[in-house]
Structures are given as C-alpha cells and as structure tokens.
Amino acid sequence: MNWDELVGQAPAKRYLRSVVTARRHAHAYLFKGPAGVGKRTAARIFAQALLCEGRGTNDTACGECKACRCLAAGTHPDVIPLRKFTEAGGEVGDHEPLIRLDTIQSVCEQLHRSPMLGRQRVALIPEAQRLCQGQAEAANAFLKTLEEPPRSAVIILTSSQPEGLLETIVSRVQIVQFRRLSAAEIRAGLALRAAARPEADRELVVPLADGSLGRALELLDGDLRTWRAAVVSGLGKLTPRTALQFGLGLWTLASEEGTRLFASEKGTDAPVTEDDAEGEESGKAAEGAAKTEAGWRRYVFRRLLEVCEVCFRDGMIHAASGNGNAALLQPDQQELSRALAARFGESGCAQVLAALREATLATRLYVRGDVVGRAFGGKLVDAMSSPA
C-alpha cells in the first residue's frame, strides 16, 4: 500500500509521512474522525511504512521487501490484530459491540514480546471506543500498557466515536484528526476503488455519502438505485392526503427490503417477527452489532430517509434561487426539485429537513419504524405551503 491510496486527508497524510521520514514516532496514535473517511486505510499504510525494511530514507514502503510481502499476505508476525477467543477463532470485526478483556490482554502480551522481523511491533485496534463499553476491565488493562509501553511497541487506535474513550486513554496518545471528504474527493475515491462501475452509478451516491467514501462504496454495492426510484416516485405524487401514507410507506418498503437482505445474508428464508427481532438487539449495541432482521430494516429505512433529505435539499435550493439550473445535488431530478419547491416553499423544505433529522435520530435510538414513519408523514402535511 502507498499514500496515494488514502483519498484526501492532506493534513493527516502530511503529518504521518513526516513521522516516517524523521523515524521518530510516538508509542501510540489515535486516528479519529467520521466513519469511512480513511482512518483504517491510513493506519495500514502507516504501519507498513514503519515496518518496511527497504524504504531507506523514503516515507513510503517499498512493497518488495519481506516485511511488505508479509503485510500484503496478512501474515506479518509483528502486526497484532484483535483476535476472538472462541473455538472458531477469527478477527474481531467492527460489528462486535465491545472488545473483551481476554482479547486486549492478548494484544498487550504480544506487544511485550520482541519483534520477529524488524524493530517494531504494531497493534491495530479499530473502533477503539469499544474498549470502554460494558465493564471497565478491558480499558484498564489496556491503559497499563499505554502508561508503560515497550520500546518497540506502536499502537494505532481508530475511532469514529472518540468521545466514548476514557480521557486517561486519550491523554496518552498522539491524536491525528481525519475530516469528512469533499464531493470531489468522494468522486476521486470512487474512480480509484470502483472504476468498473458506471459513472452514472458513482455519481448517484456522491450526495448521499455525507463525506464518507466508505458509505459511498457501501451504497454503490447496495440497492440504492431501486430505493431512490421508489422515493422519487412517491414524492412526485405527494399531496396532503397522501403524505401520511408516504411516511408509512417508507417504513413498509424498509421492512420488506430489510427482510430480503437479512434472508440473503443468512442464506435462509426463515422469517423473524418484528417483536422477536427487536428483542434480539438492545439499544446499547451498535446498529450493525448483530445482523438481525430488525437491524437490516433500520439500515434500509435510514438510507430511504437520506434519499428524501437530498430531494428536499434540492427543493429548498430551487425555491431559494428560483432557478431550475441551480447547482442541485441531483441534476437529473430538476422536475422533482421544482415540484417540491412549489409545494413546500423554502421554509417548508427547511421544516421537512428538520423532520428528517428527527426521524433519523429516532431510528438510531431504536424507536419503532412505523411510529417514525407516521410522525414524519404528519410533519410533511404540516410543512406543505398550499393544498394540492
């Protein structure tokens, strides 16, 4: 891997490259910022540059030495990932709601061993705030290593929720800030990582990515085009009489699509009732902590709400400018933006955008989807500037 694979993030990239060049690194780093903006990509590139045996005075790994070949194969003995302590083994993925004590104890124990290939041992801990969820034993065990790190240890934490980390941990690491990507950077990242996909498909996900290349790639691989068509069709027919049904219809579509995606992932058509599914997943777990049917429904519902948000942003832009050629997020939906501007006006679109933010937050807080959909439909009626 090389630094060109990290899209955007010029300040973070400049700092990390200077660390590699100077050969004076801290014992621990926290890469913090929104999800999907390149923190883990940067962590892997940084780790490879530190461990490379053939880079000389460069700040980029050579890609040819034994260390680089082992890293590419995922077999470098001095890179310490999080491991599960189960019969099946495996790595601890982002979907795990917390990092267990035995997992972090193993990482700390390995950090105290002598390097096998070079001068450093590197531990990569994604979504590190999971150390501090649940009981405090894992965080406290990790804190001891941070306070008295081995000379050869380099610990790289990444976190999209750094506020969930203990202050005592944050105070002992070097913080590297990552920021949301611009639309141009999202386009560049998609051209790099999804070049085989049609440009029209790549352009579709840019306004929905919210500055996250990871989200853009996720949307590109999903059913966004079909979901968007359903939302656009419903908004085009919106009247005060149909607004409530539209809100409920979003949840109905999310429920159907969530069930389909869940069955597809699990390879089974066995249904899970709404009550059973909701009971499987507590509000303390991340949305994707367990791939339940309810979790998939909420996932689709949030994507549908995001499509609505983009549509109403364009409606507000059109209403404010009075210009059908304004810089819209969805240039191919000028007719819809014109209709929303006429129906809601600038202030009405702003009210709907506020309602969409409330609906998204309620969904994250595990409020029932039909309740959220009905409430959103009512807000749509309130925001309409004139009857149909």
- Ordered by where they begin, the domains of the chain are 3-177 (3.40.50.300), 222-383 (no CATH)
- CB atoms near residue 152 (< 10 Å): 17
Residue 207 sits at the vertex; the CA angle it makes with 206 and 211, to the nearest 5 degrees, is 75
Residue 338 to residue 86: CA distance in whole angstroms: 57
Find residue 154's DSSP bridge partners. Answer: 122
pLDDT tens sequence for the chain (388 residues):
788 889 999 999 999 999 988 888 899 999 999 888 999 999 999 999 988 888 777 788 888 889 889 888 888 989 988 876 655 566 676 656 678 888 888 889 999 988 888 888 999 988 888 888 766 788 888 888 888 888 889 999 999 888 888 899 999 999 999 999 998 999 999 988 888 888 878 887 888 787 889 888 877 877 878 888 899 999 999 988 899 899 999 999 999 999 988 887 765 443 333 333 333 333 333 333 345 788 889 989 988 998 899 899 989 999 988 766 667 777 778 899 999 999 999 999 999 999 999 999 998 888 899 999 999 999 999 998 554 4
| Nearest residue to 156 (alpha-carbon basis) of 328, 15, 318, 40 | 40
DSSP count for the chain of H helices, then E strands: 15, 5
> Strand 153-159's sheet: what is its strand order?
79-80, 121-125, 153-159, 28-32, 174-177
Instruction: Compute CA distances 332 → 124, 232, 233, 237, 361, whole Å.
Output: 43, 11, 14, 18, 29
Q: Is residue 66 a contact partner of residue 117, using CB atoms and an 8 Å limit?
A: yes
Long-range contacts, 144-149 (Cβ 8 Å, 24+): 144/108, 145/108, 145/111, 145/112, 146/27, 146/28, 146/172, 146/173, 147/172, 149/27, 149/28, 149/111
Q: Is residue 76 a contact partner of residue 117, using CB atoms and an 8 Å limit?
A: yes
Instruction: Look up the pTM and report it.
Output: 0.71
Residue 382 to residue 319: CA distance in whole angstroms: 18
Find residue 157's DSSP bridge partners. Answer: 30, 125
